[in-house]
Structure 1
Amino acid sequence: MGIIALIIIGAAAGFLATRLMKIDADVPTTVAIGIFGALVGGLVLRVLLTISGWMAGFVGAVLGAMLLIWLWQTYGPRR
């Protein structure tokens, strides 16, 4: 059941990610992107959850700041 769920969730995640990033990919590539993305994302999440104390808050703060910077550069006022 686990591998089938991974493929289904990976296919959905890959489809959504390729559409959000405006990438035109065939079905096997989309599924592969989703599966590998789920593996990478799951690994990163596990690492962040195992880091305890202030370090997890610091990593979260840095990631949040990076996201805000990216949003500001992408959607902020044009010069």
Structure 2
Amino acid sequence: MSIVFLVIIGAAAGFLATRLMRIEADIITTIAIGIAGALVGGLLLRALLAVMGMMAGFVGAVLGALALIWLWQTYIKR
């Protein structure tokens, strides 16, 4: 999966992740969290992507964004 694709999916994943975790963040933070989550989740789940196809990349992007939001709320926002 290319980095450009992860960035595009990451923007959508960040939006979805912030809504799932019910946090209020500005658009830049939402996109940044999503892109970082997509890069982390997409690269870690590369093996799963080979087995399940592109949907696994989106799932990995959302999971990565959720993990980063949780870390951000737990350690940085306080």
Displacement, 1:8? 3.0
Q: Percent of aligned positions with the same letter in both sequences?
A: 72
Report the TM-score, using the length of structure 2 for normalisation. Answer: 0.50
Quick check: 2:11–2:32 contact (8 Å CA) kept in 1?
A: yes
Hey, what does 2:76 align to over in structure 1? none
List alignment gaps of at least 5 residues for structure 1. Answer: 51-79
Q: Which aligned pairs between 1:53-64 and structure 2 lie closer than 5 A?
A: none
Give every structure 1 segment of 4 or more consecutive aligned residues whose post-TM-superposition deviation is greater than 6 Å: none
List alignment gaps of at least 5 residues for structure 2. Answer: 49-78
Over aligned residue pairs, what C-alpha RMSD do you find?
Answer: 2.3
Report the TM-score, using the length of structure 1 for normalisation. Answer: 0.50
Question: Does residue 18 of structure 2 align to residue 18 of structure 1?
Answer: yes
- Matched positions, count: 47
Q: Which aligned pairs between 1:1-79 and structure 2 lie closer than 5 A?
A: 3=4, 5-46=5-46, 49=47
Displacement, 1:11? 1.5
